[in-house]
A and B are shown apart, each in its own frame.
Chain A
Amino acid sequence: MNRLNHLFATKKDNLLSIYYTAGYPALNTTVDIAEALEKSRADFLEVGFPYSDPVADGPTIQNSSQQALDNGMTLDVLFEQLKDLRKRVTIPILLMGYVNPILQYGVERFCKKAAEVGVDGVIVPDLPMYEYESMYAKYFIDNNLINIFLVTPQTSPDRIRKIDELSNSFIYLLSSSSITGGSLNVSDSIEAYYTRVKAMGLKNPTIIGFGISDNATFTKACQYANGAIVGSKFVKLLETENYLEKIPAFIKSIRPVK
């Protein structure tokens, strides 16, 4: 069983996922950060591979992506870094990035390589469902690689059903229609959206992302979903000195140990 599905089968709530950009702040920090996050009890990870034009990202992740590119990060370098990943890290890992670098690498080759190093799934915000289904799904399925779809407050119920059909792990619920790095503002309409999605009784678990930055927003998100993802706030921690040592306290500040 895919590590991600195993996780969701055994743990149903308060799941915490952390996003960070591979190659940032320094080129060879990718696996060190993953290891530190696992030790600090993060449940699963999203490792971003950088792109020059990340339209769904706010300034923090844009900056980390540019820095990672300047540091020399490419998909080839990343897969080389992840070669021994599974000797050091056991929690599920997703790769997250934009479609163009994958197209240049070759979709089939990318899927094979990702599976080979022990990656469990992929999030590609600008790969549409139609293109995924008609052209690429076979490579994902052949390699037991999960593709994660996003849902926003504007996604129609019909489309959510379709996404639920196509998904076989979890659905990524965006806290609002925004780019990354905003703040979670749980207005009545957002609350209604969470409630609406929850009431649909989807077969896949849901994880809320975008705007989750502290215990309050994490706790709020977990009322409606199986867990939440912290991205920009963690990337900001990586901008500081001795960030590896600060990771345990960071995780505790988001999800205190009971």
Chain B
Amino acid sequence: MKYGVNEQGYYGDFGGAYVPEMLYPNVEELRQQYLKIIEEPDFKAEFDQLLKDYVGRPSPLYYAKRYSEKYGANIFLKREDLNHTGSHKINNAIGQILVAQRLGKKRIIAETGAGQHGVATATVCALKGIECVVYMGEIDMERQAPNVARMKMLGATVVPAKSGSKTLKDATNEALRDWIANPVDTHYIIGSAVGPYPYPDMVARFQSIISLEAKKQLFEHTGKELPEYVMACVGGGSNAMGMFYHFLDDESVQLIAVEAAGKGVDSGHSAATTFLGKEGVLHGSRTILMQTDDGQVVEPYSISAGLDYPGIGPQHAHLYKIKRAQYASVTDDEALQAGLLCCQMEGIIPAIESAHALAQLEKMKFKKDDNVIICLSGRGDKDLDTYVKYFNY
């Protein structure tokens, strides 16, 4: 693949494995094994079977008729919100639990922002009877309380991350510290396309099912091999990477990634990484991150816990730098309005993360016959409180 990772774990200038020596053996074991494992027929069979019977794949590619009329193009929603556990996160969690099992690991740790990845991880651990510890920022635990309860019901231990901004970045730090202390028996299921190599590549591969299906489904709908646009929201960037994956080499397809502008890109309360960030190292990879001139990581802000992250995955940083994908940003207000519009025009309550991608529709200039695929990465049940407060229902 032209835009794939090289043998040293780099995408152009980005990627690598900037981990302390304590994590080197874990990451190295994974690097040596992951491709071998995921290409085994036995692995593939179990992965495909679980995606079909347990997750409910393929997820539909839904032709959104009223949206299409409003925006003057054919708008298709890739319905990852209909997956078991309510988002795309389950695709990667299933893949990684099968890898962990084959590596002989007895304990799983994960970080979570919105709680969707935590729920997905707790779910696959229940499925396999493996111990599960999820790190979650203390602030995120408050704003995503239903998902905390879900994880606990599924048998996971949820540990609040109390350092720093008490959100996703700090949960990731705590999970890394746990992995340092438990190097032999524990596998860390990273939920986004971030982290030291091979994580960004492994997560992208597991999420690539999204675009694999969408490509086929678009053909069934339209008889066209390729859409004009593919759009997705980006925090760390796993749903976007999955949504872009099988379109990367099709240069005619315009890839649009939508970041969270929070209260506005220049407000000082934002998570729009490509607008505000510079190159550096975060959570084990060289990427673009929001930081001070002195190289300290800046606390991001977004109303959406899943996008509230100061970096992006290294492959996104590469696609941004070489301009293969365009990176846009959408504010809290725009996202919430777009979320409500989706409820009222299409009868779908989207996750606030996914609503960022929908909000970008307002800013696009489509031609009449353009085919546009948007990843509806998750459902909005977990965000009801936020929606209700915002709209005073």
Contact = CB atoms under 8 A, between A and B. Distances in A.
Interface of A: 51-53, 55-56, 58, 62, 66, 69, 74-76, 98-105, 125-128, 130-131, 149-152, 154-156, 159, 174, 177-179, 182
Contact of A56 (B17, B20, B289, B294): B20
23 contacts: A52-B297, A53-B164, A55-B283, A56-B22, A56-B177, A62-B163, A66-B164, A100-B282, A101-B294, A105-B294, A125-B21, A126-B284, A128-B19, A128-B24, A131-B16, A154-B24, A174-B22, A177-B183, A178-B22, A178-B180, A178-B181, A179-B22, A179-B181
Contacts of B163: 62, 66
Given A103-B279, A128-B17, A179-B22, 5 more contacts: A56-B20, A56-B180, A100-B282, A150-B20, A150-B21
Contacts of B18: 99, 126-128, 131
Contact of A55 (B25, B177, B280, B293): B177
B295 A105 contact: yes
A110 B81 CA distance: 48
A94 B28 CA distance: 28
B8 A126 contact: no
A208 to B, nearest CB: 14
A34 B182 CA distance: 34
B184 interface: yes
Nearest to B170: A53
Q: Size band of the B side of the interface?
A: 20 to 34
Contact of A179 (B180, B279, B282): B180
Contact of B280 (A75, A100, A125): A100
Given A62-B163, A155-B24, A100 B291 contact: yes
A127 B25 CA distance: 15
B16 A128 contact: yes
A104 B21 contact: no
A89 B17 CA distance: 36
Given A53-B164, A179-B180, A104 B294 contact: yes
Contacts of A66: 163-164
A53 B180 CA distance: 15
B187 to A, nearest CB: 15
B280 A103 contact: yes
Contacts of B177: 55-56, 58, 179
A155 B25 contact: yes
Interface of B: 8, 16-22, 24-25, 163-164, 169, 173, 176-177, 180-181, 183-184, 278-284, 289, 291, 293-297
A125 B20 contact: yes
A228 B17 CA distance: 28
B169 A53 contact: yes
Contact of B183 (A55, A127, A149, A154): A154
Contacts of A76: 294
A154 B16 CA distance: 21
A100 B277 CA distance: 13
A179 to B, nearest CB: 5
A75 B295 CA distance: 9
Contacts of B173: 53, 55
A100 B282 CA distance: 8
Most chain A CB within a 10 A radius of its CB, from B183, B184, B284: B183
B105 to A, nearest CB: 14
Contact of A152 (B21, B279, B280, B289): B21
Nearest to A69: B296
Nearest to B182: A177
A48 to B, nearest CB: 14
Contacts of B283: 53, 55
A55 B20 contact: yes
Contacts of B278: 104
The 7 A-B pairs of least Cβ separation, nearest first, read A104-B295, A101-B295, A150-B21, A125-B20, A74-B294, A154-B25, A52-B296
A208 B282 CA distance: 27
Most chain A CB within a 10 A radius of its CB, from B8, B164, B177, B297: B177
Contacts of A62: 163
A152 B22 contact: yes
Nearest to B25: A154
A92 to B, nearest CB: 22
A39 to B, nearest CB: 31
A174 B293 CA distance: 32
Nearest to B196: A128
Contacts of A159: 24
B184 A154 contact: yes
A104 B291 contact: yes
A155 B164 contact: no
Contacts of A155: 21, 24-25
